[in-house]
């Protein structure tokens, strides 16, 4: 059977066009534009405009939230059995959790943690929980007055270990005396660090504490190991998509298309730095620490390249000027560091961030 010449010619033509397109794309001139060149809108204006956007399918969202109420008795039963509740799915679950707590958990003390805040004091949470449990024990008179007097009333002067021991103590023969912690966004920025998650896990494992939480990040489960999930948190997972907008949770995150403020500048720079090598991050820290130390001195906050090289070499961060220059090139490409000519003719380096933003950035990169 003879080959089809037409098909071969068509295939050859397709291959030639493919490689020609690749060659032209590779040789094309790259755009020199940067994100900083875009004329961004003021954040307040952008927020005001966003607040006027009407919510779509509002009736359907309310109907969906109402349909989840049939799960409330099951959730209460599982809490009483010692499990924790973890709600996940697209949409804000804040209204759902608050409705559940206000209708079904009225017999026990409830404390709410807003994990979407930028910073949260876990010890204050534990102190408050211990105080609520103490009041419950006194009110219900589960123990006799004699044995109650032997138990030390929790206070802020006690250590975390003592407070957790009180919450986990056998103060009653029954298990119906507990306090409930409702955590909005347990994977939020204020609780995402390892220490906070460890304390929350230990808190959830206390005999007089029950945990109800929501997650929104797709990789939230990576915050916990097997012991935390199955032994301490003891989660019962529930897929409850609400499709409700993240209005409250989103207030604390700056708009990408708005003029960048201190927090956004620090966060953007942190993302770039975290993609670099540890040595590069350490070199950047040397420059940042110098700038913060001389922030009040006119002209001295800039660091001469020779001084930076000496400091980095003493700390064994670089072995030659060539190595330092490669790090500086990376910093300059990402606009993390800029150069300024000093009065004596030396090239000096500085970070184009305010002192406040620089402190936040150093906290971000640890």
| Segments making up each domain of the chain, as ranges | 59-138+176-239, 262-365
Instruction: Report pTM.
Output: 0.61
215 touches 86 (CB < 8 A): yes
57 by Cβ neighbours in 10 Å (0-12 / 13-18 / 19+) ranks as exposed
Burial 340-361 (b: 16+ CB within 10 A, else e): eeeeeeeebbebebeeebbebb
The Cα–Cα gap between 97 and 124 comes to: 22
Q: Of 161, 172, 104, which is closest to residue 133 (Cα–Cα)?
A: 172
Burial 31-50 (b: 16+ CB within 10 A, else e): eeeeeeeeeeeebeebeeee
pLDDT at residue 31 in the model: 46
What is the mean pLDDT, run by run of 10 residues, along the chain of 366 residues? 58 67 53 54 73 86 93 95 94 94 89 86 88 81 52 78 85 67 92 91 92 93 91 94 88 60 64 81 91 76 88 89 87 83 81 84 80
pLDDT at residue 113 in the model: 92
The CATH fold assigned to 59-138+176-239 is Rossmann fold (3.40.50)
pLDDT at residue 28 in the model: 46
- Classified as helix, coil or strand, 68 is helix
User: What is the token pair recorded at 107?
Assistant: 């017999």
Q: Report the side by side order of strands in the sheet with 338-341.
A: 303-304, 347-350, 338-341
* CATH class belonging to 262-365: mainly alpha
pLDDT at residue 355 in the model: 85
The Cα–Cα gap between 180 and 129 comes to: 8
Q: Of 63, 93, 58, 57, which is closest to residue 75 (Cα–Cα)?
A: 93
Q: How far is CA 274 from the centre of its chain?
A: 15
The Cα–Cα gap between 187 and 219 comes to: 9
pLDDT at residue 342 in the model: 76
The Cα–Cα gap between 132 and 98 comes to: 19
């Amino acid at each position: 059977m003879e080959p089809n010449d037409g098909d071969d010619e068509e295939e050859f033509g397709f291959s030639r066009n493919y490689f020609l397109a690749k060659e032209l794309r590779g040789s094309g001139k790259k755009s020199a534009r940067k994100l900083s060149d875009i004329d961004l809108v003021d954040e307040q204006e952008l927020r005001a405009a966003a607040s006027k956007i009407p919510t779509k399918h509002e009736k359907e969202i309310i109907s969906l939230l109402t349909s989840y109420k049939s799960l409330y008795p099951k959730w209460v039963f599982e809490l009483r059995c010692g499990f924790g509740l973890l709600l996940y799915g697209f949409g804000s679950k804040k209204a759902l959790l608050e409705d559940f707590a206000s209708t079904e958990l009225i017999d026990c003390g409830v404390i709410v943690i807003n994990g979407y805040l930028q910073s949260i004091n876990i010890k204050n949470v534990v102190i408050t929980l211990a105080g609520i449990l103490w009041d419950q024990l006194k009110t219900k008179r589960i123990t006799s007055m004699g044995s109650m007097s032997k138990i030390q009333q929790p206070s802020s002067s006690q250590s975390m270990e003592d407070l957790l021991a009180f919450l986990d103590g056998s103060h009653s023969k029954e298990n119906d005396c507990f306090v409930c912690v409702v955590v909005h966004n347990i994977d939020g920025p204020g609780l995402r660090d390892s220490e906070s998650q460890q304390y929350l896990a230990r808190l959830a494992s206390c005999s007089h504490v029950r945990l109800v939480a929501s997650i929104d990040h797709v990789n939230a489960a990576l915050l916990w190991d097997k012991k935390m999930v199955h032994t301490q948190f003891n989660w019962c997972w529930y897929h409850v998509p609400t499709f409700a907008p993240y209005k409250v949770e989103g207030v604390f995150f700056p708009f990408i298309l708005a003029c960048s403020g201190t927090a956004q500048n620090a966060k953007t720079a942190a993302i770039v730095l975290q993609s670099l090598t540890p040595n590069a991050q350490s070199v950047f820290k040397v420059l940042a620490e110098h700038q913060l130390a001389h922030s009040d001195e006119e002209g001295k906050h800039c660091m001469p390249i020779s001084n930076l090289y000496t400091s980095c070499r003493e700390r064994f961060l670089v072995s030659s000027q060539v190595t330092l220059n490669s790090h500086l090139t990376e910093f300059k490409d990402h606009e993390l560091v800029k150069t300024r000519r000093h009065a004596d003719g030396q090239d000096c380096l500085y970070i184009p961030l305010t002192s406040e933003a620089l402190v936040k950035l150093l906290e971000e990169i640890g």
